[in-house]
Structure 1
Amino acid sequence: MKRLLLLCIILSCVACGSDPIPKPKAMLRLDYPEPKYKGVDIRLPFTFEKNELADPITKIKLDGVNNIYAVDIEYPKLKGTVYLTYKKVKENNLTNLLRDAQNLTQKHTMKADEIEGDIYENPKKKVFGMFYEVGGNAASQSQFYVTDSINHFLVGSLYFYAKPNYDSIYPAAVYLKNDIKHIMETIEWKE
């Protein structure tokens, strides 16, 4: 009996080690190449620069009657697309275009944790608008609109090909957010 008790004491001393220490939270590390931008001047009423990481623009929808153009900028390696929609400003429709663009962003409030808006102004190029960053598991993480308030109005949205899981797509969303801001900053209207 004494031997059994002694054996239990020895085993309990040997079996016990130091207290476990929790490991720090890890973040997924994805390295994307430094962006290289190239001018895009295709059959549109505006020009801009896009990241060379994106595929060449092949999806352009033109509606010359209503002056509506749609362009898809696809990033297959990031599994995302930036959708651009251009509409001609006509007599008294600027208010409706602005309301529609803002409502498009507000539709994400059900799933979004937060929506932050930044005003963008470039008086020299006559480009004015808003950039929205949507946090959380919303369908679109970045959206914007720009206009010259007289002739041109452009809306852009980022969507991924996967179910929205903000933690998983966060690195790609940040990378593409910077691309979208670059698109906004390089837009020039064709008169």
Structure 2
Amino acid sequence: MKKIIIPLFALFLTGCKDHYLPKPQAYLRLEYPSPKYVRSDIPVPFEFDKNTLSEPITSITSENNGQSLGVTINYPELKGTIYLTYKKVDDNLIDLLRDTQTLTQKHTLKADAIESNLFENPNNRVYGMFYEVGGNAASQSQFYATDSLNHFINGSLYFYAKPNYDSLYPAAVYLKNDIRRIMESLEWKD
């Protein structure tokens, strides 16, 4: 009887240990301050509200005698940049719209989904489209805005980090809200 009880007791003692499993890799919890906006003060044919978390806008490039302008809004804390491109409309609105939509559709190779939201602000003569790009695409958001007669802007959000949707998600949501604010506050200087 002792020969049976002692091995069972030893098995019972060794079999009751906790089994530890390695923890899965986790991501940092990123929280950003509530946005505070100021009016942009740059020499371009439009103005908008800009988040104070971004650096001052210093990068403005001009092509074709001011017919095309590039504006860069950097967010070093978020490792992201919003690129705005302004073009003068000269009977080329359909081409500008097609180019912008083609650029957005190029992200379908890596994107899980692309959701488009129509935007209209008749008081400021601003009409456009906002695209949310889901997944590990290079750009998480894109948009365009126009008055259909004289002005056209397209914008893109890019991160200078490897596209990993899970880790970029908090910053992408924060900057998507900034892009929406840019669209909502956009006014043309005529």
TM-score normalised per structure 1 = 0.91
Q: Which runs of 5+ in 1 are unaligned?
A: none
CA distance in 1 between counterparts of 2:74 and 2:130 reads 20
1:8 corresponds in structure 2 to 7
1:188 corresponds in structure 2 to 187
Runs of 4+, deviation exceeding 4 Å? 17-21, 23-28
1:168 corresponds in structure 2 to 167
1:25-104 to 2 correspondence within 5 Å?
28-63=28-63, 65=65, 67-90=67-90, 92-104=91-103
1:138 corresponds in structure 2 to 137
Q: Which amino acid in the other structure matches residue 58 of structure 1?
A: T
Q: Which amino acid in the other structure matches residue 42 of structure 1?
A: I
Identity %: 62
Judge conservation of contact 2:38–2:52 (CA < 8 Å) in 1. yes
Secondary structure at the aligned position of 2:78 is classed as coil
C-alpha distance after superposition, 1:74-99 (max 9, x if no partner): 00010000000000000x20000000
Shift of 1:163: 1.2
Secondary structure at the aligned position of 2:140 is classed as strand
What is the count of residue pairs matched by the alignment?
Answer: 188
Moved more, 60-69 or 161-170: 60-69
Shift of 1:6: 2.7
Quote the RMSD (CA, aligned, Å). Answer: 2.3
Q: Which runs of 5+ in 2 are unaligned?
A: none
Moved more, 78-87 or 12-21: 12-21
Secondary structure at the aligned position of 1:184 is classed as helix
Q: Is the aligned partner of 1:154 residue 2:138?
A: no
Q: Is the aligned partner of 1:118 residue 2:98?
A: no
Judge conservation of contact 2:27–2:167 (CA < 8 Å) in 1. no
Secondary structure at the aligned position of 1:77 is classed as coil
Secondary structure at the aligned position of 1:38 is classed as strand
CA distance in 1 between counterparts of 2:66 and 2:41 reads 21
CA distance in 1 between counterparts of 2:151 and 2:114 reads 25
Shift of 1:16: 2.1
Q: Which amino acid in the other structure matches residue 12 of structure 1?
A: L
Shift of 1:20: 8.6
TM-score normalised per structure 2 = 0.91
CA distance in 2 between counterparts of 1:146 and 1:56 reads 22
